[in-house]
A and B are shown apart, each in its own frame.
Chain A
């Protein structure tokens, strides 16, 4: 599976990342290399093998429904680029 420049443009749009032309060129090459590397996996014969949904054979891990203290608000907001002490602030979102 070859990565094209338009694939990179589409994915960057979905991730809301903006790149310059030269960055897009560089990323297309780098991503193509990564995908090519992962493509080696397709050389493994997988005929008749059931797909795994998880890397480890563990299932049914639950925790009981009990409320524990949340973060204090100032801590929750601490890493936000912008906040007004009660909410995170972001550029206007259109409904």
Chain B
């Protein structure tokens, strides 16, 4: 397929900013309230009401724009975007048109499995606007009235628009995952898709090599994608569909208007929607109710300082400081701040980053996947896991029994020390181990002979017997001693 065309994708992401109150009024932004219990004269658009900008919403936008490496203009303003829809009580949305608060940034994406080359996706702009309300339709007949809930009206949204730099659904997904990781990491949004805190629209078309040269197909905007998986599936559906349409109609960009299609997740198809109003139809003009905002260099520097270490920095540091592979560093950091902090605490307190990484990427992540548990709810705290790794390294907990101890710690929340006691694990001291080896070798002259003739694996038969006699025996050490003794007896004979 990739020989026939290249796919060109740009994404528009709306994220709800983590404010307590709305963008221009003091109504709560809390999700899940009874319909129409979080409105006031401002968000209902009643005559005579005046919007005033929420400082935190602006600060969070600035922080995000800086984290996305955007240029921050010194002057920004808000405009009215007029359109008529029942969930938009003012019949205009306060948004930003020609002087957005940020532009020209980038976000780097990569795939730890190497399915595409790392790339910088350019960000066109990120601007601050208000959300609309929610229409609740009569699904069954489509004939009854629609209900309008205006609780969401006026909630602060940051619209982040990428350049059409993505060339596959995998890249689009990686971009969304990296964006979500970044935004949750710096705490500007919870990015909860189920609650609508993160919404994605995709613009997609194809570049096709033809004998007459390279042509582009008309751009389609896809809406109604409610998960990253849905975005991936919708793009995978839409690209070949556009190719089929082009084969049938030969239509190129400019020969058909930009189309909006909705993703139907259960049917697995995109369907045409009403044609989008042209941008000039929105009749933008500066909102006279809101004053512009001037941003100083100091404010930008302050915002930059408040970011701290970003996910990309963390990945680099884990490779440098802890000697992790780039793959492992990505796996840990991509899980979010909870797992990242957990790993760091285990690595620091145990002083054994390699083991910390192994336990976190294998056992801890399996638990997170299985039980959909939060990292903080896991029975083994970071301190206890670090203690367990130290116990193994200090020889207090034989490596083969570490898993057993881990499971016990998991179910009881105990420390490594307690688990070791509970399991009756005692360190078998060296002389007792030597004694045990002698005893078993004496009883099994056959094994001794085999070992002496080079069949080292014959020792395996003794390990089982040893463990029966004393479950605390470290099989590795037991094997070493037995081999030594068996060879010694051969040279002394």
The yes or no answer to B48 lying at the interface (CB within 8 A) is: no
B288→A65 contact, CB < 8 A: no
Q: What residues of A have a CB within 8 angstroms of the CB of B345 in the complex?
A: none
Q: Give the distance in Å from the alpha carbon of A66 to the alpha carbon of B21 in the complex.
A: 6
The yes or no answer to B77 lying at the interface (CB within 8 A) is: yes
Among residues of A, the one whose C-beta sits closest to the C-beta of B26 is A68
B293→A59 contact, CB < 8 A: yes
Among residues of B, the one whose C-beta sits closest to the C-beta of A72 is B37
The yes or no answer to A89 lying at the interface (CB within 8 A) is: yes
Q: Give the distance in Å from the alpha carbon of A89 to the alpha carbon of B147 in the complex.
A: 5
Among residues of A, the one whose C-beta sits closest to the C-beta of B87 is A93
Given the contacts A14-B82, A86-B34, A93-B137, A65 and B148 also touching, CB distance less than 8 Å: no
A90→B292 contact, CB < 8 A: no
The yes or no answer to B150 lying at the interface (CB within 8 A) is: yes
Q: Give the distance in Å from the alpha carbon of A87 to the alpha carbon of B281 in the complex.
A: 29
A70→B77 contact, CB < 8 A: no
A14→B292 contact, CB < 8 A: no
Q: Give the distance in Å from the alpha carbon of A79 to the alpha carbon of B41 in the complex.
A: 11
B146→A92 contact, CB < 8 A: yes
B27→A70 contact, CB < 8 A: yes
B44→A65 contact, CB < 8 A: no
Q: How large is the interface on A (under 10, 10 to 19, 20 to 34, 35 or more residues)?
A: 35 or more
B291→A59 contact, CB < 8 A: yes
The yes or no answer to A67 lying at the interface (CB within 8 A) is: yes
The yes or no answer to B164 lying at the interface (CB within 8 A) is: no
- Name B122-159 residues within 8 Å CB distance of A: 135-138, 142-150
Q: Give the distance in Å from the alpha carbon of A66 to the alpha carbon of B478 in the complex.
A: 67
The yes or no answer to B486 lying at the interface (CB within 8 A) is: no
Q: What residues of B have a CB within 8 angstroms of the CB of A70 in the complex?
A: 27-28, 37-40
Q: Give the distance in Å from the alpha carbon of A54 to the alpha carbon of B291 in the complex.
A: 7
The yes or no answer to B83 lying at the interface (CB within 8 A) is: yes
Given the contacts A63-B54, A65-B20, A73 and B291 also touching, CB distance less than 8 Å: no
Can you give 7 contacting A-B residue pairs, CB < 8 Å?
A: A14-B281, A67-B27, A68-B21, A73-B34, A86-B147, A89-B145, A95-B262
Q: What residues of A have a CB within 8 angstroms of the CB of B293 in the complex?
A: 59-60
B37→A73 contact, CB < 8 A: yes
Knowing that A88-B147, A93-B146 are A-B contacts, what are 8 other residue pairs whose CB atoms are under 8 Å apart, sorted by A's residue number? A54-B291, A59-B293, A61-B291, A62-B58, A73-B34, A87-B148, A88-B150, A92-B145
Q: What residues of A have a CB within 8 angstroms of the CB of B387 in the complex?
A: none
Q: What residues of A have a CB within 8 angstroms of the CB of B82 in the complex?
A: 14
Q: How far is the CB of B29 from chain A (nearest CB, A)?
A: 8
Among residues of B, the one whose C-beta sits closest to the C-beta of A82 is B145
Given the contacts A73-B37, A93-B86, A95-B262, A62 and B147 also touching, CB distance less than 8 Å: no
Among residues of A, the one whose C-beta sits closest to the C-beta of B273 is A95
B145→A66 contact, CB < 8 A: no
The yes or no answer to A91 lying at the interface (CB within 8 A) is: yes
Q: What residues of B have a CB within 8 angstroms of the CB of A64 in the complex?
A: 54-56
The yes or no answer to A76 lying at the interface (CB within 8 A) is: yes
Q: What residues of B have a CB within 8 angstroms of the CB of A68 in the complex?
A: 21, 26-27
The yes or no answer to B71 lying at the interface (CB within 8 A) is: no
The yes or no answer to B36 lying at the interface (CB within 8 A) is: yes
B136→A87 contact, CB < 8 A: yes
A95→B148 contact, CB < 8 A: no
The yes or no answer to B277 lying at the interface (CB within 8 A) is: yes
B142→A94 contact, CB < 8 A: yes
Q: What residues of A have a CB within 8 angstroms of the CB of B35 in the complex?
A: 73, 86-87
- Name A36-72 residues within 8 Å CB distance of B: 53-56, 58-68, 70-71
B39→A76 contact, CB < 8 A: yes
Q: What residues of A have a CB within 8 angstroms of the CB of B145 in the complex?
A: 82, 89-92
Could you say which of A66, A86, A95 contacts B26, with CB atoms under 8 Å apart? A66
Q: What residues of B have a CB within 8 angstroms of the CB of A93 in the complex?
A: 85-86, 135, 137, 146
The yes or no answer to A6 lying at the interface (CB within 8 A) is: no
Q: Give the distance in Å from the alpha carbon of A66 to the alpha carbon of B57 in the complex.
A: 12
- Name B146-177 residues within 8 Å CB distance of A: 146-150
Q: Give the distance in Å from the alpha carbon of A51 to the alpha carbon of B114 in the complex.
A: 50
Among residues of B, the one whose C-beta sits closest to the C-beta of A86 is B35
Q: What residues of B have a CB within 8 angstroms of the CB of A27 in the complex?
A: none
Q: What residues of A have a CB within 8 angstroms of the CB of B146 in the complex?
A: 89-93
Among residues of B, the one whose C-beta sits closest to the C-beta of A61 is B291
Q: How far is the CB of A64 from chain B (nearest CB, A)?
A: 6
A87→B36 contact, CB < 8 A: yes
Q: How far is the CB of A27 from chain B (nearest CB, A)?
A: 17
The yes or no answer to A1 lying at the interface (CB within 8 A) is: no
Q: How far is the CB of B173 from chain A (nearest CB, A)?
A: 25
